[in-house]
């Protein structure tokens, strides 16, 4: 009995110790937590929605009297990018969310009209998609409601990007009842290309979704129109195909595309085997005549290998396919598919960089042998992808351009304007619109464009010494001295030099004469005695007479010290024209001087005679 009591006491003691240790060692109590319910699996949520709305024929009548169908076309939903089967997966409750999620009964729809319902749906769209309203940015909401995401893109049958051109016409004419479906299709049709093109290119029409203001003015530029289809744009043909000319050896029916239009136009044909060749004659715009273009070997090279890198956008040199004809948005801003998919986080190249222009406005060779930089992308260093031409057929003795599309070569010659941080190609040229002047200049008056920065030189009579008489005979342009025509495209010397250096007849002397190195002065001064040495002496005398000052001779623009660096100018390679006859105006001037002298002499002789006769009569 005593043993039993001892055992019970020991057990009670141990139990008490365990309870006490639990009280001291137990964790601190925490506040009660609300455990969220497990998420409903996407498939189950869609199964509930699809099971009810897949075959429903009911409609929801809104306070406006309009109705919304409650049935959903499940096959169309499954094919759209907004489906549980798409990647990423999009369930019904991703867009249709309310306090009870998918559960029935749903909350009452607060929309008073179909437009309010679509506007509410569009707010869900913008939670994933970058908001945009192409072609309707200027819509006056006070006059009529701008379209919503659902109006243009649909709801359960969302169209993919590549299908938009086919789907949108039906959506557009629901509002634009005065337009036809064909008109809308032509308006929205992507610019044509050839095949898929290089990866990551989306095409310029994709850019129009957010940048319509720039897109539609760009479509009127020389870049956009460099390649055109005469079947759809017959006005693009500038050559005279009705004339009889031995150099014109092909009919207009052979022309698949036109190339260029301002100085010359060439013609591209596409064969049944999908090769592209430039036909063997070009039309010169200035002289309105046909001239041969590689008549012996025109069928031996494919245009895509020789030229297309600067005539199309998104060229894949391995396959010969490209995204679109013409110099499109992505030619200057880089591949844009990633930006179009995620515009907030992926930005295109948008810096002002002359190298972007130089990729096509220069001659040379890429590492893979193509005559254009095949691997260059905007933002790269162009010299890493391209070796510039230095041969005698391409450049003059000082390295400036002798042939066309080498403006960047000139620009790199180091004038003070090229070195200025705020100067670039787009200082003078428009890129997103055609502009009022030739070559897309920003001003129709060339001198006005120059004077907008160089105001002290507005008084040309003080800026160009010894030209007072000439100023009365003809109009002078700043480019006559600083950007003379010296390279050749269609006809000799129809391209302006872009070095923007000073006239340099001394450079002509140093390089061996006008045949080897032209200059601006001798482009105009060709009479006997007006050789490069005379021009150099005249410039030296003018500098001594009036050193460079603001508004004075040669000032305040950059004037090189003696001897000035060689600068290509003037009628390149053209020898002085020697004339043995004096100008008619010179004859008239000397005749007037002689007549005035004779009359003066006769007056003096008559006066002398009268004075002498009077003296004799008084004697």
pLDDT in tens, 356-372: 999 999 999 999 999 99
Task: Please say if the pLDDT value at position 91 is more than 60.
Answer: yes
Q: List CB contacts of 33: < 8 A, sequence separation 6 or more.
A: none
Q: List CB contacts of 405: < 8 A, sequence separation 6 or more.
A: 310, 360, 361, 362, 363, 489
pLDDT in tens, 124-136: 888 788 788 877 7
pTM of the predicted protein model: 0.73
pLDDT in tens, 535-561: 999 999 888 876 655 444 444 434 333
Length of the chain: 619
CB 502 within 8 A of CB 490: no
Interhelix angle 181-188/164-175, nearest 10 degrees: 130
CB 400 within 8 A of CB 495: no
Q: φ and ψ at 420, to 5 degrees?
A: -70, 135
Give the whole-angstrom CA distance, residue 526 versus residue 530. 6
Give the whole-angstrom CA distance, residue 52 versus residue 30. 44
CB 547 within 8 A of CB 499: no
Q: Where are the domains of the chain?
A: 48-158, 204-365, 389-545, 586-612
Task: Please say if the pLDDT value at position 242 is more than 90.
Answer: yes
Residues 112-121: what's their mean pLDDT? 86
Give the whole-angstrom CA distance, residue 393 versus residue 199. 36
Structure confidence at residue 182 (pLDDT): 86
pLDDT in tens, 59-86: 889 999 999 888 998 888 888 888 888 8
Q: Which tokens go with 600? A: 């003066």
Structure confidence at residue 274 (pLDDT): 94
pLDDT in tens, 8-34: 544 454 444 444 444 444 444 444 455
Structure confidence at residue 44 (pLDDT): 62
């Amino acid at each position: 009995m005593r043993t039993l009591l001892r055992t019970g006491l020991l057990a009670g003691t141990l139990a008490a110790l365990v309870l006490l240790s639990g009280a001291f060692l137990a964790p601190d109590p925490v506040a009660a937590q609300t455990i969220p319910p497990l998420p409903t699996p996407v498939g189950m949520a869609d199964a509930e929605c699809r099971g009810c709305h897949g075959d429903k024929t009911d409609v929801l009548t809104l306070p406006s009297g309009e109705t919304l169908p409650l049935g959903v076309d499940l096959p169309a939903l499954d094919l759209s990018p907004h489906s549980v089967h798409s990647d990423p997966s999009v369930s019904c409750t991703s867009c249709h969310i309310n306090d009870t999620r998918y559960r029935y009964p749903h909350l009452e729809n607060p929309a008073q009209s179909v437009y309010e319902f679509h506007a509410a749906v569009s707010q869900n769209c913008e939670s994933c998609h970058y908001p945009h309203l192409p072609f309707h940015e200027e819509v006056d909401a006070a006059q009529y409601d701008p379209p919503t995401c659902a109006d243009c893109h649909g709801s359960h049958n969302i169209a993919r990007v590549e299908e938009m051109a086919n789907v949108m016409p039906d959506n557009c004419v629901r509002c634009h009842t005065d337009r036809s479906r064909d008109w809308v299709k032509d308006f929205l049709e992507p610019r044509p290309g050839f095949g898929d093109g290089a990866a990551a290119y989306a095409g310029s029409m994709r850019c129009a979704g957010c940048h319509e203001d720039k897109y539609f003015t760009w479509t009127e530029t020389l870049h956009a129109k460099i390649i055109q289809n005469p079947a759809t744009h017959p006005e693009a043909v500038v050559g005279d195909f009705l004339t009889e000319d031995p150099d014109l050896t092909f009919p207009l029916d052979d022309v698949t595309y036109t190339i260029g239009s301002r100085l010359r136009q060439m013609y591209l044909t596409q064969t049944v085997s999908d090769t592209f060749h430039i036909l063997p004659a070009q039309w010169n715009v200035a002289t309105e005549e046909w001239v041969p273009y590689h008549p012996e070997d025109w069928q031996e090279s494919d245009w895509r290998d020789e030229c297309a890198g600067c005539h199309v956008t998104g060229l894949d040199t391995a396959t010969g396919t490209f995204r679109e004809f013409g110099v499109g948005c992505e030619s200057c801003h880089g591949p844009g598919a990633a930006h179009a998919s995620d515009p907030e986080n992926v930005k295109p190249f948008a810096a002002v960089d002359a190298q972007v222009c130089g990729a096509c406005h220069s001659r040379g060779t890429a590492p893979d042998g193509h005559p254009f930089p095949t691997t260059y992308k905007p933002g790269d260093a162009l010299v890493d992808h391209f070796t510039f031409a230095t041969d005698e057929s391409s450049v003059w003795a000082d390295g400036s351009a002798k042939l066309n599309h080498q403006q960047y070569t000139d620009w790199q010659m180091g004038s003070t304007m090229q070195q200025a941080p705020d100067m670039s190609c787009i200082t003078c040229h428009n890129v997103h619109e055609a502009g009022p002047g030739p070559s897309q200049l920003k001003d129709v008056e060339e001198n006005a464009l120059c004077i907008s920065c160089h105001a002290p030189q507005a008084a040309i009579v003080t800026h160009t010494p010894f030209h007072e008489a000439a100023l009365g005979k003809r109009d002078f342009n700043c480019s006559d001295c600083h950007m003379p025509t010296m390279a050749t495209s269609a006809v000799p010397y129809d391209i302006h030099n872009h070095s923007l250096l000073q006239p340099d007849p001394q450079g002509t002397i140093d390089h061996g004469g006008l045949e080897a190195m032209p200059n601006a002065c001798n482009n105009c001064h060709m009479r006997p005695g007006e050789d490069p040495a005379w021009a150099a002496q005249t410039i030296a005398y003018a500098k001594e007479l009036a050193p460079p000052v603001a508004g004075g001779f040669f000032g305040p623009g950059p004037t090189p010290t003696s001897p000035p660096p060689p600068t290509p100018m003037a009628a390149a390679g053209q020898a002085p024209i020697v004339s043995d006859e004096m100008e008619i105006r010179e004859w008239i001037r000397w005749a007037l001087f002689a007549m005035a002298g004779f009359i003066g002499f006769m007056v003096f002789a008559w006066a002398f005679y009268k004075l002498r006769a009077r003296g004799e009569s008084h004697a």
